[in-house]
Structure 1
Amino acid sequence: MNNNESVLINGQIEKPKIRPIPIMASLLIGVFIGIFSQTSLNMGLSNIMDDFHVDASTVQWLTTGYILTIGVLVPISGVLYQWVTTRNLFIISLCFLMAGTIIAIFSFNFEFLLFARIIQAIGTGILLPLMMNVILVLFPTHKRGFVMGLMMLIVMGAPAIAPTIAGLLIEIHNWKGIFWFCIPLLTFSFIFGLIYMQNISNLTKPKVDIISIFFSTIGFGGIVFSFSSLGSIVGTWGKWVFILSLTIGILSLVIFSIRQFKLDAPMMDLRVFKFPMFALGAAIVFLVMSVNLSVSILMPMYLKEGLLLPAAIAGLIMLPGGVLNGVTALVFGRVFDRYGPKYIVRTGFLILIIMFFLFTTVKTTTGELTIILIHCCTLIGVALVFNPAQTNGLNQLPTKFQTDGTAVMQTMLHVAGAIGVALAISTMSTGQKAYLDNAKGPINIIAQSEVVAAGINAAFALSLFLSIIGFIISLFIKRVDV
């Protein structure tokens, strides 16, 4: 008998006692590995470009495709959560993660590797909203700030150590070493979850609306694909591909949204946007996730191709910022519980504005210590914005809307990440092209690093603009009384 089975005591059926700590530990371990898998490969993108002879606009699909898959899956998570038990969803997600990791190890071309990443992303896409739903079920609103902060400490711990470990693995072996490293971690997580994961969901098994699933998939996919193609548009045909995919994506999401309001049991209840702090929190999360993911993919390229640093050193440079991000999220989870989000979120955006301005000035001669300081402050700013805005928005929702609110928030989060990465790479490519157009004479390896730096400057200018918009929105945020 496992720890999820009911037992007969004195002629009455009693359910086992729910143990929040082992349940959260199981989920956090799994999510940690999923996020590690997502972010660690960023350090190897330059190597993959060389091995498979692809450019930056193509290789970014290893990150964009991963995040997009999660974004497409999250709207379906609300239905999955009502059809499949917590324990089984956990097991299914780990199986996808393990399968994708094994396929990636044996990938022989870029397309095969991209397929492996999508399989991995399916596992992470199931696991992330599952963890959010479990938090909303297990913990009251006055404790969620700290619990969400703890979650962010673990979740951001993965991006913190991922560049360092990935850099060392690449130097010792190659980029496939990243996937070999994940195998024992996934095995441990799977066994730990089998022992400790419990079922906490009440299965209602609502009707599945295939039409909604179709339009949400086409909608989110079309929009992200259009932005991802910006950096590689060539000629009239390329422009028409962008316009067509963007148009199809927007129209599909409009149809999806209208349908949700007409259904008695919508796949995703969009009435959550009637709650002002939730809507504002979702907008803030969208913006901060866009800039956060752009930093995670631009920094390795700048350090390796702009400053010409080895992968291991580049990973070490990114480590302090990731650690401070997680610690800040944990500490200010307590502060949020006591004082609310207003001043925390605004301060975070002010920090981001200053740091992204400084990022637009970095050159190939910028010192490593300066880069570390700017990167650390940037990720502190992200932590100050992300967790308080998200938690405050979810806290305003009544219990019956919390599952849908989680799905909406997580969908926006991952679609924003995919769009942010796509826009960052596209803007970087445009900035590099502009630099080359103005360059005189042949481009040697030193000049090539300056081309990369010029592209990075342009991409961070976009992040600066988004941060300014985020600060303006944050002026309207206020604490939700619960």
Structure 2
Amino acid sequence: MEKIHQWFNQIRYGEYSRALILLSGIIIMLTGEFSTTLPVAAILKKFGDGGTLVQLINILPLAILSLMFPIGPVWFKKGKIVKTFQNSLTLFAIGTLIIGVSPNLAFLMIGRIIQAIGTGMVLPMLPTLIISLLPEHSRFANFYQIEDVILGFSAICALIITGCAMLLGNWKYVNLFIIILTLIVYYSASYIKINLEVSSRHIEWLNALF
């Protein structure tokens, strides 16, 4: 009990708060990426387009994320970490808003693409940044294994939230909830004091080509 109390005090006084803000950003953006997985049937019924095209709504953003990973560091060359993180959240929120008001499949696809680009701007670098923000005594070498847990947790969150939205009558309600969370994280990121900045950029052209 004492350890739990100490942990909450550390969060309260900012020792872990900066890392938690970035981690929350990861989870929210990944949750948004998975938010159209469950309501495929509802999307197909509403827009009446071919099933293959509807499936692209989920497949194409993953392809974009795969492309963004090898070129991710280039974004950090243009500004400080926090500003880039906020720009990423902004782009993600715009894509989510377009999805929420999309009148047809074309707008839905555009929203998903913008969502994926926003997520991909910081996702490749965030694990390293989170480790750098943690106190030295709390850092652990196997953080990258936690990425799988974060990915699974985000997928489960997306299924639960989207399922609740569908029970309320419209799966698009999930986008409103995600936008609210994104705005909270964006505001919280304003309080992150960090001077980290990528001094050189390196694009993995071979991986980008693949």
Deviation at 1:151, TM superposition (A): 4.5
Q: Which amino acid aligns with 1:174?
A: N
Q: Which of 48, 62, 71 lines up with 1:76 in the alignment? A: 71
Partner of 2:190: 194
Contact 1:40-1:178 within 8 A present in 2 as well: yes
Contact 1:76-1:267 within 8 A present in 2 as well: yes
Partner of 1:134: 129
Partner of 2:107: 112
Q: Which of 151, 171, 174 lines up with 1:175 in the alignment? A: 171
Contact 1:86-1:130 within 8 A present in 2 as well: no
Give CA-to-partner distance per residue, 1:251-275, whole Å, 9 cap, x none: xxxxxxxxxxxxxxx52276xxxxx
Task: Give the TM-score, by structure 1 length.
Answer: 0.37
Structure 2 stretches of 5 or more lacking a match? Answer: 1-13
Q: Which of 97, 116, 122 lines up with 1:121 in the alignment? A: 116
Partner of 2:140: 143
Deviation at 1:43, TM superposition (A): 0.8
Give CA-to-partner distance per residue, 1:74-119, whole Å, 9 cap, x none: 2221222334321111011000011111111111100011001111
User: Is 1:164–2:100 an aligned residue pair?
Assistant: no
User: Is 1:45–2:58 an aligned residue pair?
Assistant: no
Residues 82, 144 of structure 1: alpha-carbon distance in 2 compared, 3 angstrom cutoff? farther
| Superposition map of 1:54-69 within 5 A | 54-69=49-64
The 1-side partners of 2:15 and 2:144 are apart by 14
Partner of 2:149: 153
The 2-side partners of 1:201 and 1:137 are apart by 12
The 2-side partners of 1:70 and 1:195 are apart by 28
Structure 1 stretches of 5 or more lacking a match? Answer: 1-18, 207-265, 271-407, 416-482
Select the structure that is richer in helix: 1
The 2-side partners of 1:100 and 1:57 are apart by 22
Contact 2:30-2:119 within 8 A present in 1 as well: yes
Partner of 1:185: 181
The 2-side partners of 1:71 and 1:90 are apart by 19
| Superposition map of 1:298-377 within 5 A | none
The 2-side partners of 1:103 and 1:119 are apart by 9
Number of equivalent positions: 194
Contact 1:28-1:155 within 8 A present in 2 as well: no
Q: Choose between structure 1 and 2 for higher RCO, CA contacts under 8 A separated by at least 6 residues.
A: 2
Residues 155, 193 of structure 1: alpha-carbon distance in 2 compared, 3 angstrom cutoff? farther
Q: Which amino acid aligns with 1:192?
A: S
Give CA-to-partner distance per residue, 1:313-362, whole Å, 9 cap, x none: xxxxxxxxxxxxxxxxxxxxxxxxxxxxxxxxxxxxxxxxxxxxxxxxxx
Deviation at 1:123, TM superposition (A): 1.2
Deviation at 1:20, TM superposition (A): 6.8
Contact 1:135-1:144 within 8 A present in 2 as well: no
Q: Which amino acid aligns with 2:184?
A: F
Contact 1:103-1:113 within 8 A present in 2 as well: yes
The 2-side partners of 1:160 and 1:91 are apart by 25
Residues 76, 44 of structure 1: alpha-carbon distance in 2 compared, 3 angstrom cutoff? same
Deviation at 1:165, TM superposition (A): 1.9
User: Is 1:35–2:30 an aligned residue pair?
Assistant: yes
| Superposition map of 1:260-299 within 5 A | 267-268=203-204
The 2-side partners of 1:151 and 1:192 are apart by 22
Deviation at 1:194, TM superposition (A): 1.3
Let me know the Cα RMSD of the aligned residues: 2.6
Q: Which amino acid aligns with 1:110?
A: L
